Chains A and B, each alone.
Chain A
């Protein structure tokens, strides 16, 4: 039972503003991912929630209690670190027991109670066999589990994770993703999870907060983040390959609004005509997977020249120039492999216009 609320958090390191006025509300039992490139302030935000950093401005609330001035130990949180931060000189058992041993008197626990709890949690994470070992003798995945066990044993109000999977190899990472998510849902612990890996964020989060340059750019469900980016940054940061960006200009002809783009031209949907002005520069965001590809001309299609084909197994990524006659304009398109494409070939594209995003060139914000 815990909510977390961040109010106007600002953190500076010297002249650098690491976190710039962040507001975020995390609901009870929710799995929220802070996603962003390195240096965007996501880890600092997490450390402020943990109490490892003190914000220069703003307040942190856990369950409506102002914890800004509290030490980490008084916040009833647990944290999993990127490098696991296991105590190298203690056995796995002692590592997991540590949070309880420290507060043993306060919690009124006997050593036997603690032993039971350690075994219980070790069973949950399938590490019963490792309890007598030292962290140095464990594999990365096993260390990961120990770190999770240590973070779970107190049944904290809030679970904080700083890129906990980034030191694992690819296969194990996929496995742990699912397991973590399952564990979190089963135990119902409010979780804040930091990562730079968008696939991880999309697959695990209830909601994602995308951060850039110390600010939260967008908060939303993975679907919202993916399909309705509110900022060109979100579009280009998420997706693999990311959203294609095409710079266009608004034109007015016969009282109709058009987008003049390199290689093609298109009427602007009615809903947007109130927002745009003539000669306004805008950015068209086209996801690589929302484009139909054809070898023959289709009505209303865009002509493109294939530069490179990157086969990906069941699908292929086509690197295209959509303005073969003019200045080179590159986009990437994902397509199911049903036909053979080769570089140099001319093909025709038909984007799904309902799923195209339009951003203001100046501010980068989505136009809706």
Chain B
């Protein structure tokens, strides 16, 4: 009995293992190897150069043109962190509160579909739409602000100015990604036993109390999933930056994935490009390992 199982296991597993070994694992290891290679031998040189780089379109930490008064630009790594810091709480909060409110809204499935559109369209198109949203003559945001009588940068094309480029992309990514959070939360919310909420109502809790004392704690699992996936998405962000600003102007909306690409495609510097990729991969391991631990814990309790 046991014997035949090994045969079938190997037979079923082999195609996947071959594909992964050739096109996934070998390249990943290759990137790590290349990141240590320098003309003079092997070492951490690429990492050192990449981290201390000061030119605005490739700086990870601090560029030399850093605005004295109010940056950006910072380095691409900092931009990624800022991205997470702004994007994550908004997405979590919006998704959670909308999912909670939706059960009292007529046509809630249509509302959900509208939010979900951002998940369906290609990110490149998403980036173009963000560029459009913040366009000075056509875009929704500046035009509304202009009609409200507000002058200054925010009534111009946001993506063209260092002060507003990054934040416009981050807000745009909220627009794209809230659908994910809303979908996860409303699925989790629907699977909650309604008796909890009914019991709280009978115990005399108000809507706010029910939300914060009952619903939010019960949605903890969904929150963790949303946080992990959003962090991964934010750290890997590339497409929307590439099409809408290409990291500009003056590196003010640069992100790590784009820096890696610029080293690779513009400078043809494979060592530094790989080093940037490895640094990015290590950062994504923070939510990644968290994800893995959750999955493995779930597997054990099953």
Listed in ascending order, the chain A residues whose CB lies under 8 Å from chain B are 51, 54, 69, 71
Contact = CB atoms under 8 A, between A and B. Distances in A.
Nearest to B1: A54
Contacts of A51: 1
Interface of B: 1-2, 4
A247 B2 CA distance: 50
A68 B4 CA distance: 15
Contacts of B1: 51, 54, 69, 71
Q: Looking at chain B's contact residues, is the secondary structure mostly helix, strand, loop, or mixed? A: helix
Nearest to A71: B1
A69 B4 CA distance: 12
A51 B2 CA distance: 12
A71 B4 CA distance: 10
Contacts of A71: 1, 4
A12 to B, nearest CB: 15
Contacts of B2: 54
A54 B4 CA distance: 13
A71 B3 CA distance: 11
Nearest to A69: B1
A71 B2 CA distance: 10
A169 to B, nearest CB: 24
A109 to B, nearest CB: 26
A69 B2 CA distance: 10
B300 to A, nearest CB: 12
Contacts of A54: 1-2
A51 B4 CA distance: 14
Interface pairs A-B: 6 shortest CB-CB: A54-B1, A71-B1, A54-B2, A69-B1, A51-B1, A71-B4
Contacts of B4: 71
A175 to B, nearest CB: 34
Q: Looking at chain A's contact residues, is the secondary structure mostly helix, strand, loop, or mixed? A: loop
B38 to A, nearest CB: 51
B302 to A, nearest CB: 14
A114 B1 CA distance: 29
B160 to A, nearest CB: 57
A203 B2 CA distance: 39
Nearest to A54: B1
B1 to A, nearest CB: 5
A54 B1 CA distance: 8
A71 to B, nearest CB: 6
B281 to A, nearest CB: 36
B250 to A, nearest CB: 60
B8 to A, nearest CB: 12
A66 to B, nearest CB: 14
A44 B2 CA distance: 17
6 contacts: A51-B1, A54-B1, A54-B2, A69-B1, A71-B1, A71-B4
Nearest to A70: B1
A248 B2 CA distance: 52
A54 B5 CA distance: 13
Nearest to B4: A71
A235 B4 CA distance: 45
A51 B1 CA distance: 9
A71 B7 CA distance: 15
Contacts of A69: 1
A77 to B, nearest CB: 15
A54 B2 CA distance: 9
B11 to A, nearest CB: 17
B104 to A, nearest CB: 33
A51 B16 CA distance: 30
A338 B4 CA distance: 67
A71 B8 CA distance: 15
A335 B4 CA distance: 60
A60 to B, nearest CB: 12
Nearest to A72: B1
A171 B288 CA distance: 53
A148 to B, nearest CB: 27
A62 B177 CA distance: 62
B192 to A, nearest CB: 26
A101 B21 CA distance: 40
B7 to A, nearest CB: 13
Nearest to B3: A69
Nearest to A68: B1
A128 to B, nearest CB: 38
Nearest to A52: B1
B26 to A, nearest CB: 37
B228 to A, nearest CB: 31
A62 to B, nearest CB: 16
A69 B27 CA distance: 44
B9 to A, nearest CB: 16
Nearest to A51: B1
